[in-house]
Amino acid sequence: MKPILRRVGRLEDCQAISSGKPKPGVRLIVSLPWKGPANLATSTCLRYLRAGCITEVVELDGDEAAIREEELEKFIASFPVQASARAESKRNQH
């Protein structure tokens, strides 16, 4: 019984059933420090959901050290979470 409860706990954690929000899985931040302080107006972010976890790829146009953590979180949250490209291609094939 314990292995089953542990597995259910892991599934709930990954899908964040208890909180109602997907759990961030991976966040990759790419910055260009030689360009000076990061400019959020020209930076981009891609967020997608796969297997109940969010993957985020943030491309900062400049050095991330110049941005406060709260500003970065707000910037990332402003981008919508999309379905994964793999799931979209499977949907389009059918």
Q: How far apart are CA 89 and CA 91, in angstroms?
A: 5
Q: Are 24 and 56 in contact (CB under 8 A)?
A: yes
Query: Would you state the structure tokens that stand for residue 5, as one six-digit string?
Result: 């409860």
Q: Report pLDDT for 17.
A: 45
Q: Order of strands across the sheet with 53-61? A: 23-31, 53-61, 39-50, 81-83
Residue 89 vs residue 76, higher pLDDT: 76
Q: Report pLDDT for 6.
A: 63
Tell me the pLDDT tens digit for each residue of 14-70.
555 445 565 658 899 999 888 889 999 999 999 988 777 888 999 999 998 889 999
pLDDT band at 75 (very low <50, low <70, confident <90, very high): very high
